[in-house]
Amino acid sequence: MPTKQTMYYVGFCRVCKTGPLGLRCCGQCGNIVLLCDECDAVWSDADLAAPPQYAQGGDLPCPACEASLIERPSHWATEEQIQNVDWLQEAIHTGALELKQGTAFAPDAEDDESPERPASGG
Ligand SMILES: [Zn+2]
Ligand SMILES: [Zn+2]
């Protein structure tokens, strides 16, 4: 059966007005951006009034390292990763963004092996 992907999002896209703005984590450099799950608009920080970037030729380069934000190993950010992003935490604390938990819209559930996670000691 397909596995549901948990996606944290911070509201809805002002461009298409229907897509949730998911927190997408670059698999190469760990940079986190706001990615509309519907129209693939991307904001690289909490300033949603700024014009977004869009996918180019079906791919979406990371603003920091230009690796693909769509292809693996890029993924929806985990709660732990979100907590490490200063601008996100600041925006959440000031109420500019509201962190919510949802499920990724993408119907193509990934079916092969999940990446190995190193056990983090506490
Ligand atoms: Zn959108
Ligand atoms: Zn990157």
Q: Is residue 94 a contact partner of residue 5, using CB atoms and an 8 Å limit?
A: no
Query: Tens digit of pLDDT for each residue in 20-62?
Result: 999 999 999 999 999 999 999 999 999 999 999 988 788 899 9
* Reported pTM: 0.80
In the structure, ligand 1 is a single-atom ion and the residues with CB under 5 Å from it are 13, 15-16, 19, 36, 38-39, 41
Task: Tell whether the torsion through CA atoms of 99, 103, 108 and 109 is positive or negative.
Answer: positive
Two tokens, residue 47: 């300033």
Residue-wise pLDDT tens digits, 63-98 = 899 999 999 999 999 999 999 999 999 999 999 999
User: Nearest Cα to 56, choosing from 71, 38, 72, 40?
Assistant: 40
Q: Tell how far the Cα of 71 is from the centroid of ligand 1, in angstroms.
A: 19
Domain spans in the chain, listed from the N-terminal domain onward: 6-103
